[in-house]
Amino acid sequence: MPIIQGSDDLDTPLMVQLVKAMNWAHQNLQMEIEKSGAAPFNINQGIVLSNILLGINRPSDLAREMEISRQAVSIILKQLEGRGIIELIADPQHKLAKIVRMLPNDENEGILDVIHHARNVTEARLKKRIGAVKFKTLRAALGSSWGPIGEYQKGEKNP
């Protein structure tokens, strides 16, 4: 059943709206990926893969970036490795560390194209539905630094 994200109800808590928005975006991405004939990714695999594509290639850095445990990242990486999308190789600079590397093959080049296309289609769909001005504002708000988790900034008061 498709998710219909949002409503004009401004009383809905922002955190609920953010979760619904993430679900909407994820399901749209998966729908586009499935249209290509590729197997979909679960939301955690998608987030890890997105970070890898942004150049974060150490499991410990992925865990820090996503603010989840290294064990959780390890499970997700094993799933992606099992699908033949990535491999873990020894880090030449640190004996005990690993580096995540996309496997260089035609199928993976294809999946990267599919992911990029799915992302572009999903963003275009959102922009069309909410309008260019709201889309630009949303992008700016989400791209802003929100500061450290759980810490008040200088001059900020506890609500």
Q: What is the pLDDT of residue 113?
A: 83
Q: How far is residue 39 from each of residues 14, 28, 65, 69, 126, measured CA to CA in Å?
A: 32, 14, 26, 26, 23
Q: What is the pLDDT of residue 9?
A: 65
Q: What is the pLDDT of residue 137?
A: 96
Q: What is the pLDDT of residue 102?
A: 86
Statement: the pTM of the whole predicted model exceeds 0.85: no
* Rounded mean pLDDT for each run of 10 residues along the chain, 159 residues in total: 57 90 92 89 89 91 93 96 91 90 72 86 96 96 85 69
Model confidence over 20-51: pLDDT tens digits?
A: 998 999 999 999 999 988 888 898 998 898 89
Q: What is the pLDDT of residue 73?
A: 97
Q: What is the pLDDT of residue 159?
A: 65
Q: What is the pLDDT of residue 140?
A: 95
